[in-house]
Amino acid sequence: MINENLTLQDFKTLRPSDQSAFGAGTVRIEILPKDLQLFKLTAGTAAATQYGITPWWSPVRPFKEDFEGALGRYEQAKLNKIDMSAMVRFMSAVCIDWNDLDNYVQVKLNDSCKCFWGTFAPQKTFSKKPQTIDEMMAANIKEFTVNKGAQLPPDLGVLEAPGIIPAIQTLDS
């Protein structure tokens, strides 16, 4: 098992930004089964960093509280006539200035895995409110470019979609 000794105490060792991105009181340890497929939309690839595999994955198929998986997100996007990246941004509470969400990445666990699991904490559309006219114009251009014209509400991630921090480096792509 990957992360066999992971406990909630280990949650305190995550970056503060990762800790605060979980909904208050929702984080728990979950065991993901071998061969579970996970996905994320991200800018570029999801290469390992000094912190391990990039955080914030979701199940490809329905799993636990995620009743939709990637296909459900895609179907929601189609029904709402928006790009899947805008739907994922809304459900996963990804501020526009954090990530372009322009690349679909999917991995499969090569072993069962303990991970941190919980809902996303709601976020504002932009993590930093534009202060000047130039910043506001740049933010408007970025929002239109990234979301392909989709109108997002000011608060993202309010529907309690679950997120996963695998904190592992042994995923098969």
Residue type, 67: F
Query: Does residue 132 fall inside a structural domain?
Result: yes
pLDDT bin (cut points 50, 70, 90) of residue 68 is confident
Residue 173's pLDDT is what?
A: 38
Listed residue (91, 60, 97, 80) closest to 150, CA to CA: 80
Instruction: Spell out the residues 6+ positions from residue 138 whose beta carbon is closer than 8 angstroms to its own.
Output: 130
Query: Does residue 110 fall inside a structural domain?
Result: yes
User: 155: which 2 tokens?
Assistant: 């608060």
The residue with greater pLDDT, 92 or 34, is: 34
Average pLDDT over residues 97-118: 88
pTM, two decimal places: 0.76
pLDDT bin (cut points 50, 70, 90) of residue 139 is low
According to DSSP, the residues that pair with 39 across neighbouring strands are 58, 106
CA distance 67 to 111: 23
Query: Does residue 123 fall inside a structural domain?
Result: yes
| Residue-wise pLDDT tens digits, 31-50 | 999 999 999 888 877 766 65
Query: Does residue 1 fall inside a structural domain?
Result: no
- For the chain, what is the mean pLDDT? 79
Domain of residue 89 covers: 8-172
Residue 169's pLDDT is what?
A: 35
Residue 171's pLDDT is what?
A: 38
Query: Does residue 3 fall inside a structural domain?
Result: no
Domain total for the chain?
1
| Residue-wise pLDDT tens digits, 115-135 | 999 888 888 888 777 777 777
Query: Does residue 55 fall inside a structural domain?
Result: yes
| Residue-wise pLDDT tens digits, 151-166 | 666 677 765 555 555 4
Contact predicate 40/57, CB 8 Å: yes
| Angle, helices 69-79/84-92, rounded to nearest 10 degrees | 110
Query: Does residue 2 fall inside a structural domain?
Result: no
Percent of the chain whose predicted confidence (pLDDT) is above 90: 17
Residue 136's pLDDT is what?
A: 72
